[in-house]
Amino acid sequence: METMFGFVALVMATILGLFAALALQALLLKAAFALMQPATADRRITHPAIERGAQMVARAYARTN
């Protein structure tokens, strides 16, 4: 009977450890995504400034000719 109690205690400790590890893993995964957020924020190329500059160069070139 005492052996069965020891076995049940071992099983319960293992299950408790499993749930604690899963909770910690989920917490760390959520923290990793939160830390990665600024690295993926808004990487658009600013094409309008390039187009505006090209228009200005074309106008300046047209005035000189």
Q: Per residue in 11-46, pLDDT tens?
A: 999 999 999 999 999 999 999 988 887 665 666 665
Residue type for position 28: L
C-alpha to C-alpha distance for 52 and 54, rounded to whole angstroms: 5
Q: Which pLDDT belongs to residue 23?
A: 97
Q: Is the pLDDT of residue 5 over 80?
A: yes
> 0.85 exceeded by the pTM?
no
The number of C-alpha atoms within 13 Å of 23 and in the hemisphere containing its C-beta is: 6
